[in-house]
Amino acid sequence: MRTALVGDIGGTNARFALWRDQRLEAVRVLPTIDYARPEEAIRAYLADVGHGVQELQAVCLACAGPVSGDIFSFTNNHWSLSRRAFCADLGLSDLLLINDFSAMALGMTRLRKGELIDICEGQPEPDRARLVIGPGTGLGVATLLPLKNGAWHALPGEGGHVCLPIGTPREAALWAILHRKRGHVNAEAILSGGGLLELYRTSCELDGREPQLTTPAEVTAAALAGEPYAAAVLEQFCTWLGRIAGDNVLTTGARGGVYVVGGIVPRFAEFFIRSGFSRSLRDKGDMSRYFDDIPVWLVTAQYPGLEGAGVALQQALEGTSAG
């Protein structure tokens, strides 16, 4: 292999790296808004790291959204691509395109010491599914399956778009306001970067308060500084994330463990550990004991999506399953 390129493209940023000897090299992060098409971003990346387009032999892109067919439109940014046109432009014979949370799931197989924080203690069942979930620009959800040949299969999905669950009268009141504004209320309406601000504004409307904070970062900073109202909003955010994670565990039978990923939650890790996440995860009535031995980890790795794209490319080249 001359040069393999991997990318992890979300709603805000595109992360690129070279993949050599099953390792990442020359990682760069490019804002998607700065480029009209992914091909332009890749050319800029290659120029920055001193490689020509003609050196590319294999490319794997992990992209936010459902992946199928020739045309792919990104869920949370303005990019789209045609596999055929992409390959023709860059001189490739093929493009491996996978869901971004499939890549994130595969990245869990590459975690190193110090890149996990224990949230719930437990004993993972080695032959069972693992859940990967995390808020970012949207809410990503994927399932990781161990295979008998030692490889891994990642099941993509759009679990961030399931209906937001209601577990308390206050959550019902918040949902009613959201429904009035937007109709269908999915999970990532709240469980995302922009969703945290939406939750703050909706809470203020419910409580007859004038919003004082204008960005998700301000809400988080105020909560961590001990401002009671912002802290209550962030607590509700964590509680809702637990409800969704628990629903997904029951649906997929993820007794291999739960990975909480993405760039948002690690910013308030200590708050998250103390929050109602673990309680709401298990709050499933007669099935609450199902969660007794399921471990939950908060992932702090810097580029797990890129690592997962590399795993997917490696497994594709070797003829094993990647998802």
Q: Would you list which residues are annotated within the binding site?
A: 7-12
Q: Give the β-pairing of 139-146 and 130-135.
A: antiparallel
Report the C-alpha dihedral over residues 302, 308, 313, 316, rounded to 10 degrees: 170
Residue 155 and residue 142 in contact, taking contact as beta carbons nearer than 8 Å? yes
DSSP assignment string, 120-166:
E-----TTS-EEEEEESSSEEEEEEEE-TTS-EEEE---GGGSBPP-
Residues annotated in a binding site for ATP = 7-12
Please name the amino acid found at residue 21.
D
DSSP structural state of residue 256: T
Distance of CA 173 to the CA centre of its chain: 28
CA distance 234 to 220: 7
Q: Which of 170, 194, 158 is nearest to 66 (CA)?
A: 158
